[in-house]
Amino acid sequence: MNPSGFAVAIDGPVGVGKSTVAQQLASNLHMTYIDTGAMYRAVALFNLRQGTDRHDATAIAASLPHIEIALTPAGAVLLNGEDVSHEIRNQLLAEYTSTIAAYAPVREKLTQQQKHLAANAHVVMDGRDIASYVLPWAQVKIYLDADVKIRAQRRYDELQAKGQPADFARVWEETLIRDERDKNRAHAPLVRTQDAIYIDTSNMSPGEMLEAITCHVKNKLVRKDG
Given the rule CB under 6 A, which residues bind ligand DC? 14, 36-37, 40-41, 97-98, 101, 127-129, 178, 182
Spatial CB neighbours of 137, under 8 Å, sequence gap ≥ 6: 1, 2, 7
What is the nearest approach in angstroms of ligand DC to the Cβ of residue 101?
4
What is the nearest approach in angstroms of ligand DC to the Cβ of residue 59?
18
What is the nearest approach in angstroms of ligand DC to the Cβ of residue 40?
4
Give 85 or 97: the residue with its C-beta nearer to ligand DC: 97
What is the nearest approach in angstroms of ligand DC to the Cβ of residue 157?
15
Strands 32-35 and 122-127: parallel
Give 128 or 141: the residue with its C-beta nearer to ligand DC: 128
Show the DSSP H helices in 56-186 as ranges: 57-63, 91-100, 104-118, 148-161, 168-184
Give 101 or 144: the residue with its C-beta nearer to ligand DC: 101
Range 2-28 burial, b when 16+ CB lie within 10 A, else e: beebbbbbbbbbbbbbbbebbbbbbee
Give 2 or 20: the residue with its C-beta nearer to ligand DC: 20
